[in-house]
Amino acid sequence: MKAIIWPRYGAPEVMQLQEVDQPVPKDQEILVKIHAATVTAGDCEMRRFDLPGWIWLFARLYMGIRQPRHKRLGQEFSGVIAAVGKKVTQYTPGDAIFADTGMHLGAYAEYLCLAASHAIAPKPSNMTFEEAATIPTGGMNALHFLRMAKVQPGEKVLINGAGGSIGTYGVQIARLWGAEVTVVDTAAKLEMLRDLGADHAIDYTKEDFTQNGQSYDVIIDVVGACSFSRCIQALKSKGRLVLGNPRLGGMMRGVWTSVTSDKKVLFALAEGTTKDYNLLREWIEAGHLKSVIDRSYALDQIVEAHHYVEAGHKAGNVVIKISE
């Protein structure tokens, strides 16, 4: 089978398209024929190993000191189950699914083995495989951040860096929950975000949302580019700041702020579950959520795709089409 091999940390050019052996599922595994995967900012960070200091050592030990231990990137995918292990009873060949790969990665390939106990959900009936591949990262993290902030109907929610994979789902979920949503991103993405339901849109190159006199119940800083102190000042009493891309300094200041004021700073990694994936699928099939795809690339265009995402221009998601 064809797969993208990642032999060392570095620029997109380190990735290579190769022919490798097709995996065989163990007794409690499924074999998935992957139809689509994505390129996220997280994929690019892992490829070059540019991770926050608070997880740097643990991640390096797990992923490999001198070179990657797992030789294939790719965190999320959709596809069709091609075979199941002898002890797998909950899935059958032909089931269309979506899932994340966990820290084992490996979605940049034609086939992938996954434990049957892993978080897996049926592909939404009204989505293509390319659209469904965007759910585990964008949809799951958006749900996690908004749930962590305990967003209530009528509250004012601001999403900083709303034009990416997480933010585009976040706008829709926040509106579904009855919030008034303000989005912050570049001018090129604001019309798309309005189409998703955003009530207010701010071009960060022309206006600093922390300096415009407005205050919010919840601020979700997806990209980690907002001044911590000014974000806290822009919160209402009992407001919540969610650090979507936390750094050690922000986490330490967040703990202090949460203890010494009536405002809360929240940060925690999302973990996909079958229950939450099915909740997202139900919302999608009911017409409440949709995927935003900026560009699609073939597997042999993976270097170009990573360059595009790394440049910070993507609106929504960038998808890798692996098989029809």
* Domain spans, the chain: 2-134+292-321, 137-266
Place 66 in a pLDDT band, splitting at 50, 70 and 90: confident
pLDDT of residue 85: 98
| 2-134+292-321 placed in CATH 3.90.180.10 | yes
**Looking at domain 137-266, which CATH architecture does it have?**
3-Layer(aba) Sandwich (3.40)
* Confidence (pLDDT) at 28: 98
Predicted pLDDT of residue 194: 98
Q: Is residue 305 over pLDDT 90?
A: yes
Residue 250's pLDDT is 86
Q: What is the pLDDT of residue 165?
A: 97
pTM of the predicted model as reported, rounded to 2 decimal places: 0.94
Residue 239 Cα to chain centre, angstroms: 24
- Token pair, residue 248, equals 């050690």
Q: What is the DSSP letter of 192?
A: H
- Give pLDDT, residue 249: 84
pLDDT at position 221 is 96
pLDDT at 51 over 90: no
DSSP conformation letters of 286-313: TTS----EEEEEEGGGHHHHHHHHHTT-
Say whether pLDDT at 57 is over 90. Answer: no
Distance CA 74, CA 203 (A): 31
User: What confidence tens digit (pLDDT) does each residue in 189-248 have?
Assistant: 999 999 999 999 999 999 999 999 999 999 999 988 889 999 999 999 999 999 998 888
Note the pLDDT of residue 13. 98
Using the predicted structure, report yes or no on whether residue 96 has a pLDDT greater than 90. yes
